[in-house]
Amino acid sequence: MQEAETNLISHLEDLRRALLRSLAVLAIGIVPLFLVSPYVLEWFCSQIALQGDFQLHYFSPLEIFLLQLKIAALLDVVICSPAIAWNIWQFVLPALYEKEKKFIRSIVALTSLLFVAGVAFCLIVCFPLIVKFGMSFASDLLQPVFGVSNLVSLALWLSLAFGCMFQFPLVTFALIRGGIVDYETVCKKRPYVVVGVLALSALLTPPDIISQLVLGMPTYLLFEAGLLAARRYKKPRM
């Protein structure tokens, strides 16, 4: 009993150290990235301005400062995500076999790559479509006045949503490879996966069909990619 308690305390201490190292990485990165954030905000505003003839506005003295903090925080998470993932996996690795360790190490790199790809896809493809969709309602009596805080906050939230949803193929592959779910079972549940992806897309995006489809379609294609990668692990028919 005492040995089990000692092991539990030891594991909790290891987890605490892993979390503290991750927080330290984020704390170190936030300062230089905050200095870079004004240039990122300027670039972002210039890209938005290309979508139409309008200007962005801010409505309080500290609004731009807070936006720069948000941008720095997102950049910090994106850039430091490989180090954070590595710290977390280092906590898990001692309990795994050698083959499992090799698999986890490859997953760490893919996790970071897919997260960055999701953020890039959002900012380059999805967000300009949302802005154009919003501007399509303009008329002689209705003219858009966009607040920079609303647009940037929306872009940051969508970027995080896309980064997380782009992990879908890794989740599918890991569940099948680990034997948690069967390949044939997942294939038969495709209609439920479609409904689940659309439901998550609706929760994570604004209430318009454009952004929901732009997130839902690539997410489902990534699910199929993960399923294809896991095909060799399907159980042979008896």
Q: What is the pLDDT of residue 92?
A: 67
**Within a domain: residue 111?**
yes
Q: Is the overall model pTM greater than 0.85, yes or no?
A: no
- Asked if 108 contacts 86 with a C-beta cutoff of 8 angstroms, the reply is yes
Distance between CA atoms of residues 133 and 138, nearest Å? 10
Q: What is the pLDDT of residue 6?
A: 59
pLDDT band for 3, please (50, 70, 90 cuts).
Answer: low
**Within a domain: residue 209?**
no
pLDDT tens column, 195-219 = 888 888 888 777 767 777 888 888 8
pLDDT band for 238, please (50, 70, 90 cuts).
Answer: very low
Task: Give, rounded to a whole angstrom, the gap between the first and last alpha carbons of the chain.
Answer: 44
Number of domains composing the chain: 1
**Within a domain: residue 236?**
no
Distance between CA atoms of residues 51 and 55, nearest Å? 11
Q: What integer best gives the mean pLDDT of the chain?
A: 78
pLDDT tens column, 102-113 = 666 667 777 778
**Within a domain: residue 34?**
yes
The H-assigned helical ranges of the chain are 2-49, 63-92, 98-121, 127-135, 148-165, 168-177, 183-188, 190-204, 209-229
**Within a domain: residue 14?**
yes
**Within a domain: residue 218?**
no
Which domain, by its residues, includes 146? 2-166
* Higher per-residue pLDDT: 233 or 232: 232
**Within a domain: residue 11?**
yes
